Amino acid sequence: GQQLNQSPQSMFIQEGEDVSMNCTSSSIFNTWLWYKQDPGEGPVLLIALYKAGELTSNGRLTAQFGITRKDSFLNISASIPSDVGIYFCAGLDLMGSSNTGKLIFGQGTTLQVKP
Amino acid sequence: NAGVTQTPKFRILKIGQSMTLQCTQDMNHNYMYWYRQDPGMGLKLIYYSVGAGITDKGEVPNGYNVSRSTTEDFPLRLELAAPSQTSVYFCASSYRGKHGYTFGSGTRLTVV
C-alpha cells in the first residue's frame, strides 16, 4: 500500500533553534497535512496544504507542498519548550474515484526541546 | 463544543476478553475513522465509515469489527482480545474527508 517516509524520526534541540522535517511518498497526493500530538492526546491539525507549490504559515510554523506532489516539509522557527511532541505528516488518499477521505500518515517525528 | 469523544480513556483486558471502544462526534461529520497507534509506527487505519450504515476495512482490520447506526456514533468492537492489540486507539471524523480530521483523545488498551 501507500507509504509516507517521514524524517527525521526524532530530534533533540536547544530552545531557540529552528527545526525542519519532511515527508516523501511514492504516490501523488492532492492534500498534505501536518499534525502535532501532545503526550496523552490525539493529533491536532497544524497546517493543511491543497496545491502543489503552496507555502503556508501558521505562526512560527511554515509548511510547503512539493511541486511533484510527492513531498512536503514543515519548518518550526525559534523553537520553544511547548513545541515538544510528535509531528505527523499525512497525505489524502486519492486511490479510486470515490472520496473516502482516508489519510496516510508518516511514522512521526518526535521533537524534544531543551530549555 | 465536545468534538470527538472517546471512552474509556484506559483499559486493561485479559486475553480472550471482548470490549467495545466508544466514539461519538457532535460536528455532524459524515466520515469517521478508527486508527491504532504503536510506538514508532505512525497511525494505521483499522476501519472507516463514509456515512450511517456504511463501513469498510482499512489497513489492519483483523480482530476488529465496527458498526455505524447513526451519524454520531462509531463504536469499535474487539472480540477475543490478543496481546498484539495492545495499542492506543484513536477515533477521528471529517467533513467528507476534506480539510483533515478531528481526533479524539484516544483509548490506551493493554491486553495481558
pLDDT more than 90, % of chain A: 74
pLDDT for the residue A97:
37
- CB atoms A102 and B97 under 8 Å: yes
Nearest CA distance, A106 vs chain B (angstrom): 6
Q: Which residue has the cell 472480540?
A: B79
- Cα–Cα distances in angstroms (integers) from residue B27 to residues A34, A57, B72, B91, in the given order: 21, 26, 8, 14
Nine cell digits for residue A56: 503556508
Do residues B60 and B66 touch, judged by C-beta distance below 8 A?
Answer: no
pLDDT for the residue A108:
94
- Cα–Cα distances in angstroms (integers) from residue B93 to residues A28, A65, B75, B96, in the given order: 23, 23, 13, 9
Residue A93 has pLDDT above 70, yes or no: no
Strands of chain A, DSSP E:
4-7, 10-14, 19-25, 32-37, 44-49, 55-58, 61-65, 71-76, 85-92, 103-105, 109-114
The band of A1, judged by pLDDT with boundaries at 50, 70 and 90, is low
Read off the pLDDT of residues B4-62 as tens digits, 9 standing for 90 and up.
Answer: 999 999 999 999 999 999 999 999 999 999 999 998 788 999 999 999 999 999 999 99
B69: helix, coil or strand? coil
- CB atoms A45 and B42 under 8 Å: no
The band of A92, judged by pLDDT with boundaries at 50, 70 and 90, is confident
- CB atoms B100 and A103 under 8 Å: yes
pLDDT for the residue A101:
78
Residue count (chain B): 112
pLDDT for the residue A2:
66
Read off the pLDDT of residues A33-54 as tens digits, 9 standing for 90 and up.
Answer: 999 999 889 999 999 999 999 9
Nearest CA distance, A84 vs chain B (angstrom): 16
pLDDT for the residue A96:
47
Nine cell digits for residue B15: 486475553
- CB atoms A100 and B50 under 8 Å: yes
Q: Which amino acid is at A19?
A: V
The strand pairing partners of B80, in sequence order, are: none
The vertex-A44 CA angle with B87 and B34, nearest 5°, equals: 40
Q: Which amino acid is at B7?
A: T
Q: How far apart are CA A103 and CA A31, in angstroms?
A: 9
